């Protein structure tokens, strides 16, 4: 056994994290910090199988050769190699990063570097490190995803986040494809009235990106604005598109 392997076995902070992508700086394209400059770390693995998942490669095996097992320190090193001194914010995304207890070491190291952290999860699993995240987005999945929400788990996650000491921003963000999704969202908002609430335009998985895709997304967004406008039970809500899909969908089509 080599010296480094001995250290690794003794030190849980080197427990590897399955990583699919480290990229940025770019902007957060959606949700409460929409437009915010950030770096992304995308972990592999998800306990859901959403019909319209836009990152199926994180769990369907198609990118399994690209998964790298990295320590928290290696991820931080890669973030700084890419972003230099231009960033102060990292978004952890998946898949579902909440499958990984060892993310706590990454969160700790990012904070040690003075970096603000954001996480998005469907809210199906708890990890203690979640309370140390500065911006937590819970995105329970509506009926169009084909998934079912375990509201007991979600209730407990929301309660723990709201009760935890320290300052953090939290929001619930729900992707909306149709009226059924909207009804689901209204129920969720009624269940957690104190959590800032965002409706997000659904992004259908089309095979080729084009101007038509942008136009179709904008029309979907317009529909969502119209519906939001007329609903008395959604007063204090936001409706947002995914900006990265508009911009880079647009680009790929040109």
Report 131-160 residues binding ligand SF4 (CB under 6 A).
141
The only residue of 25, 74, 108, 131 in contact with a second copy, by rule CB under 8 A:
25
166 in a labelled binding site: no
Report the distance separating Cα 153 and Cα 61, nearest Å: 27
Give how far Cα 238 sits from Cα of 54, 110, 180, Å: 22, 29, 18
**Quick one: 141 or 189, whose CB is closer to ligand SF4?**
141
* Residue 122 engages ligand SF4 in binding (rule: CB under 6 A): yes
What is the closest distance, in whole angstroms, from the C-beta atom of residue 251 to a second copy in the complex?
7
- Name the nearest CA neighbour of 92 among 102, 83, 103, 82: 103
Strands 116-121 and 89-93 come out as parallel
46 in a labelled binding site: yes
Torsion of CA 49, 55, 57, 60, to 10 degrees: 0
- Element at 80 (helix H, strand E): helix 72-83
* Contact of residue 26 among a second copy, ligand SF4, none (CB under 5-8 Å per partner type): a second copy
- Name the nearest CA neighbour of 24 among 75, 98, 97, 95: 75
Report the distance separating Cα 241 and Cα 217, nearest Å: 8
What is the closest distance, in whole angstroms, from the C-beta atom of residue 119 to ligand SF4 in the complex?
12
* Contact of residue 18 among a second copy, ligand SF4, none (CB under 5-8 Å per partner type): none
The only residue of 48, 80, 126, 223 in contact with ligand SF4, by rule CB under 6 A:
48
**Quick one: 63 or 225, whose CB is closer to a second copy?**
225
The only residue of 87, 105, 129, 184 in contact with a second copy, by rule CB under 8 A:
87
The only residue of 6, 49, 160, 251 in contact with a second copy, by rule CB under 8 A:
251
DSSP state at residue 62: T
Backbone angles phi, psi at 103, to 5 degrees: -60, -20
- The alpha carbon of 49 is separated from its chain's Cα centroid by a whole number of angstroms, namely 15
* Contact of residue 89 among a second copy, ligand SF4, none (CB under 5-8 Å per partner type): a second copy
Return residues touching a second copy (CB under 8 A): 24-27, 33-37, 84-89, 116, 198, 211, 214-215, 218-219, 221-222, 225, 228-232, 234-241, 243, 246-248, 250-251, 254
């Amino acid at each position: 056994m080599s010296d480094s392997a001995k250290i690794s076995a003794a030190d849980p902070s080197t427990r590897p994290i399955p990583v699919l992508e480290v990229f940025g700086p770019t902007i957060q394209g959606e949700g409460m910090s929409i437009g915010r400059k950030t770096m992304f770390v995308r972990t592999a693995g998800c306990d859901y199988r959403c019909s319209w998942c836009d990152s199926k490669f994180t769990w369907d095996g198609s990118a399994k050769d690209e998964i790298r097992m990295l320590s928290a320190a290696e991820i931080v090193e890669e973030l700084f190699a890419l972003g230099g001194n231009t960033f102060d914010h990292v978004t952890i995304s998946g898949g579902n990063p909440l499958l990984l207890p060892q993310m706590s070491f990454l969160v700790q190291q990012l904070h040690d570097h003075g970096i603000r952290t954001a996480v998005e999860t469907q809210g199906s699993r708890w990890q203690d490190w979640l309370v140390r995240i500065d911006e937590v987005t819970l995105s329970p999945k509506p009926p169009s995803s084909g998934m079912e929400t375990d509201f007991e788990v979600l209730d407990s996650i929301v309660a723990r986040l709201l009760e935890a000491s320290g300052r953090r921003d939290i929001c619930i963000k729900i992707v909306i494809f149709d009226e059924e999704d909207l009804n689901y969202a209204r129920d969720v908002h009624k269940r957690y009235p104190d959590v800032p609430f965002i409706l997000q335009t659904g992004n259908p998985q089309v095979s080729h990106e084009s101007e038509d895709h942008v136009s179709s997304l904008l029309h979907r967004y317009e529909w969502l604005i119209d519906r939001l406008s007329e609903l008395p039970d959604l007063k204090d809500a936001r409706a947002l598109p995914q900006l990265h899909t508009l911009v880079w969908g647009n680009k790929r089509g040109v």
